[in-house]
Amino acid sequence: MSHEGIRMVSAEEARRAEEADRPLPKEATDPAKVRVHKTEGTGVEIDWKDGHRSAWTFAWLRLACPCATCVEEREREGRKPGEPKAKPVELLPMYQAPPRPETVTPVGRYAISFHWNDGHSSGIYSWDFLRRNCICEACKNSF
């Protein structure tokens, strides 16, 4: 009997997976106002209809890309959305331009997408994804 494909998860992982499936109130995932600070290169701010405000840097958003390729890579490496890759030890690190979107496009009424300056463009950042991944102190443990 083969056990390939069976993966044991901790109680904490199971709790997080269950919470990720729990629907959020509509007001929590419905933006009242979205501000993309593309010119300034700083990031995105969303005022939600429930009165909460979320903000992310472009660096965090690029590292949290929700496309299948990026999600698989993060899972394989054990990283959370927005968590950077481990840097190899180098004598002279190569300069890497900070992540910035070249274009920002609404996706229907449910998401936003970015075409990043590194050429990546397949991530669709749903309002639900963004709210569940709000990085403010109040949200870190509530969703």
The pTM for the full model equals 0.81
Question: In the chain, where are the structural domains located?
Answer: 26-83+100-143
Percent of residues, the chain, with pLDDT higher than 70? 83
**Is residue 44 within 8 Å of residue 55, measured between CB atoms?**
yes
User: What is the Cα–Cα distance from 103 to 118, expressed in whole angstroms?
Assistant: 12
Q: For 26-83+100-143, which CATH class?
A: alpha beta
Q: How far apart are alpha carbons 137 and 141 in whole angstroms?
A: 8
Give me the DSSP letters along 54-93: EEEEHHHHHHT--SHHHHHHHHHHTPPTTPPPPPPP-SSP
Give yes or no for a contact between 52 and 28, defined as CB atoms under 8 angstroms apart: yes
pLDDT tens digits, one per residue of 75-107: 999 999 999 988 877 777 778 889 999 999 999
